[in-house]
Chain A
């Protein structure tokens, strides 16, 4: 187990920070090759609760927990001693399909899990990752906590607001972008860290922001992460 690995010259492969210094491609590093297209029914139950997708078409009215999603919920339920413990994964499924967790979604989750509706509201509103209202196609979360802040995070945030033409916490007119400030994303050594949908962009500088925004406008969302 202590075989020394060969030295891979490598900088953290945030898409934006990829300045051509690396021998590895992004695909090799995060890649489809490894994670693969995980099935919508969630694969093995042990990992069914993790979110493999953020769907391109977020349909706020889509039915919850039907078809493959029903299968996935059932798998999730097998992993916990009671139904209540599946509440967080169930809310995550709802958000995956609908893009946000509306009061109606919360009620539906309550119904499926046999929990009081008010209880589910209480839990859902405790956690920041459940969007309580619709967000843009790209949810841009810029870390401005201390380590990133020391390295210019506020300029990166300002640049995102400028180039997406939106205000903090608001969604741009074309529905493409919602830009918010995030608390520490645990990528402090690669500042500034920006989470866009489910993908981390590391080593982002303010001057790279226009390039990222252009890139995001051009991509079609298909799987987690956007590109």
Chain B
């Protein structure tokens, strides 16, 4: 990736053409071998494509890390109803900025991935649910889809194969919760983007009540490369359980923030120190969030030991999520930043489930009180207790996402919370101890 910064430790597969405006043209894309994978897939047959993706070990890049081939294999093999493929391009997790770049710089790569995916799951219609704020990506993508239609890569009888696959760009309207797959389906159907109770799972009862598969942009972008080069080729990167490359979105206090495509399993320490040129001003590191705002925070010591794949992150008590690495140096006010994240969740809670609707709002209020120096000593226990009751008690995981940063911050940076407490509170507690 040539922009904004490059590292020679990258393995650029899906981000190979970032920064090259010409690559967005259908002619250039085809000249460079584009839509070759689609032809190849049509020659293989849908089940062979699914088996290939299974063999490659590609896992969903939207956060959950579910094996893509397995997800596709849940779709009925003999369609009796229309099938749909939804591409989740509603990227809005704080810290994540990969899907927008994939759509801006390489729209045809995504469209080709969508077409292959649709063919594999026997869908005749793909909806790319693109976040509403991405006007530019929306236009680039819409233009690319129009070009794909004009060249016969989409629509009726794609490439003379007898397959009809329609692609529609659907523009969202500003709601984080629509990135949750069932919320996305509701939103696509013209409803409030409220997540649905599962089961029924989307493969049985999805968009418009029909069998549906939902994949992230980055997942679908990897598919053409796997089809072209094979499963073994893809497995040259990463580990047995987490093969392949992944875009790491690095933001915050590093010298060179940006998207870096690296093999899974890359050490977080190297990512920060080497690839991103270290922490700004040479400051000591305080904390890192490795997977977007919904995952537990790591302190500097844990971060240095963390390997960036699905298993490696779990080993240090966090999650890879969508690999959005937010780096914080020693000047960071952890309490304030956690409060900002909780504010976000309180704003974005859809309000269906009481633990989330009430919990996120009250958590935000208590956090704000502590930040303003009006905290009470029992506040930390209240926060821990309350957020614990928000885990696993709701329809979707937005509620759990509030708990993760709050609980981990209180555990690892308790001193910072106490430092914000009024002197009287602290003295009182010391008196109690004595």
Whether A146 contacts B94 by the Cβ 8 Å rule is yes
Q: How far is B136's CA from A81's CA once the two chains are assembled, in angstroms? A: 27
A88-104 CB contact bits vs B (8 Å, 1 = yes)? 11011000000000000
Query: Does B187 count as interface, using CB distance less than 8 angstroms?
Result: yes
Name the residue on A nearest B336 (C-beta): A149
Counting CB contacts under 8 A, is A151 at the interface? yes
Contacts of B13 in A (CB 8 A): 2
Please measure, in the bound complex, the distance between the C-alpha atom of A80 and the C-alpha atom of B388, giving whole angstroms: 41
- Of all chain B residues, the one with the shortest Cβ separation from A225 is B135
B59: CB under 8 A from chain A?
Answer: no
Q: Which one, A10, A28, A38, A46, contacts B4 given CB within 8 A?
A: A10
> 1/0 per position for B386-402, CB-CB distance to A under 8 A?
00000000000000000
Chain B: CB-nearest residue to A182: B133
Residues from 184 to 199 in A contacting B, C-beta threshold 8 Å: 184-191, 195, 198-199
Most buried by A among B4, B17, B326: B4
Contacting residues, chain A, for B190 (C-beta < 8 A): 84-88, 123
A188 to B249: give the CA distance in the assembly, Å: 8
User: Do B337 and A79 touch (CB < 8 A)?
Assistant: no
Q: Are B191 and A12 in contact (CB under 8 A)?
A: no
Shortest CB-to-CB span from B392 to chain A, Å, is: 24
Give Cα A44 to B249, complex, Å.
Answer: 33
Q: Is the CB of B142 within 8 A of A46?
A: yes
- How many residue pairs, one in A and one in B, have C-beta atoms under 8 Å apart? 242
Q: Please judge, given known A-B contacts A92-B171, A188-B326, whether A46 and B166 are in contact too, CB under 8 Å.
A: yes
Q: Which of A153-181 contact B (CB under 8 A)?
A: none
Size of A's binding interface in residues, CB under 8 A:
72
Tell me if B's interface is mostly helix, strand, loop or mixed. Answer: mixed
B228 contacts which of A1, A4, A187 (Cβ < 8 Å)?
Answer: A1
How long is the Cα–Cα vector from A80 to B166 in the complex, in angstroms?
Answer: 11
Q: A10-B19, A146-B326, A147-B251 are in contact. Are A47 and B169 (CB under 8 A)?
A: yes
Question: In the docked arrangement, what's the CA distance between A81 and B124, Å?
Answer: 12
Residue among A8, A35, A144 facing the most chain B CB atoms (10 A cut-off): A8
* Interface: B139 (CB within 8 A): yes
A184 to chain B, nearest CB (A): 4
A44's partner among B132, B134, B149 (CB-CB below 8 A) is B149
B171 touches A89 (CB 8 A): yes
| Contact among B95, B142, B171 with A184 in the assembled complex (CB-CB below 8 Å) | B95
Is A224's CB within 8 Å of the partner chain B?
Answer: yes
Q: Smallest Cβ distance from A26 to chain B, in angstroms?
A: 10
CB-CB contacts below 8 Å: A1-16 with B? 1-12
Known pairs A7-B6, A34-B143, A46-B145; A129 contacts B19 (CB<8 A): no
For B249, the chain A residues whose CB sits under 8 A away are 188-189
B271 interface residue per 8 A CB criterion: no
In the complex, what distance in Å separates the CA atom of A190 from the CA atom of B97? Answer: 9
Interface residues of B (CB under 8 A from A): 2-4, 6, 12-13, 16-17, 19-21, 23-25, 32-34, 36-37, 82, 91-97, 99-100, 130-136, 138-143, 145-146, 149, 154, 166-176, 187-193, 208, 224-225, 228-229, 249-253, 257-259, 289, 293, 324, 326, 328, 332, 336-337, 340-341, 344, 347-348, 350
Q: A129-B132, A147-B251, A200-B136 are in contact. List 9 more A-B contacts (CB 8 A).
A: A1-B37, A12-B4, A35-B139, A46-B169, A92-B171, A145-B94, A184-B94, A184-B95, A186-B91
Interface residues of A (CB under 8 A from B): 1-12, 24, 28-31, 34-36, 38, 43-47, 49-52, 79-82, 84-89, 91-92, 122-123, 126-130, 144-147, 149-151, 182-191, 195, 198-200, 224-225
